[in-house]
């Protein structure tokens, strides 16, 4: 039983997921610090409010903390921008550079781009004759 648990814990997929989660949490903490310590004070200097988290209003004893929502919205947009510009854009460029060396042709059945060495189209599953390449 312990051997099976050890194998489960040391699987590559679990380790990869754990590392990804740790990196995501670290990225979130870094982005949150960036927003709270740099961006919010800049926006606050322009608007004149030093701390958004203190902004609130009360209706019938219910407190609406719209300042905390503003901070959360800034963190969300900043995180999305960081992920896009530091992960998505470089990955797309990498894929384009990697894909530039692969020669493709159109599938005769569905016109999807396939490798010249393909024997079957991944989209329509039509059998195709590989081209010499």
Question: What does each of the 133 residues of the chain score in pLDDT, given as a tens digit?
Answer: 778 777 776 766 777 788 889 988 888 888 778 777 887 778 778 877 666 778 889 999 999 988 888 878 877 887 788 778 888 899 888 888 876 666 788 888 888 888 888 888 888 888 988 776 5
Pairwise CA distance, residues 69 & 75, whole Å: 10
Whichever domain contains 83, its CATH number is 1.10.1200.120
Check whether residue 72 and residue 132 sit in a common domain.
Answer: no
Check whether residue 116 and residue 95 sit in a common domain.
Answer: no
The model carries a pTM of 0.49
Check whether residue 7 and residue 40 sit in a common domain.
Answer: yes
Check whether residue 56 and residue 118 sit in a common domain.
Answer: no
Check whether residue 53 and residue 96 sit in a common domain.
Answer: yes
Closest CA to 37 of 63, 64, 75: 75
Pairwise CA distance, residues 56 & 67, whole Å: 6
Name the DSSP class of 11: -
**What is the total count of domains within the chain?**
2
Check whether residue 77 and residue 121 sit in a common domain.
Answer: no
Check whether residue 127 and residue 69 sit in a common domain.
Answer: no
The whole-number pLDDT of residue 133 equals 53
The whole-number pLDDT of residue 58 equals 93
Check whether residue 114 and residue 82 sit in a common domain.
Answer: no
Closest CA to 116 of 95, 133, 96: 133
Check whether residue 84 and residue 120 sit in a common domain.
Answer: no
In contact, 16 and 10? CB cutoff 8 Å:
no
Instruction: Residue 109: give the domain boundaries.
Output: 104-133
């Amino acid at each position: 039983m312990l051997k099976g648990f050890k194998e489960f814990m040391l699987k590559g997929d679990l380790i990869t997921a754990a590392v990804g989660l740790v990196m995501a949490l670290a990225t979130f903490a870094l982005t949150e610090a960036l927003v709270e310590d740099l961006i919010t004070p800049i926006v606050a200097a322009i608007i004149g409010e030093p701390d958004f988290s203190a902004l609130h209003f009360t209706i019938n004893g219910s407190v609406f903390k719209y300042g905390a929502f503003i901070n959360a919205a800034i963190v969300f947009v900043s995180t999305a921008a960081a992920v896009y510009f530091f992960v998505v854009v470089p990955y797309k460029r990498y894929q384009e550079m990697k894909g530039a060396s692969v020669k493709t042709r159109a599938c005769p059945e569905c016109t999807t781009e396939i490798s010249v060495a393909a024997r079957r189209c991944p989209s329509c599953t039509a059998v195709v004759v590989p081209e010499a390449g």
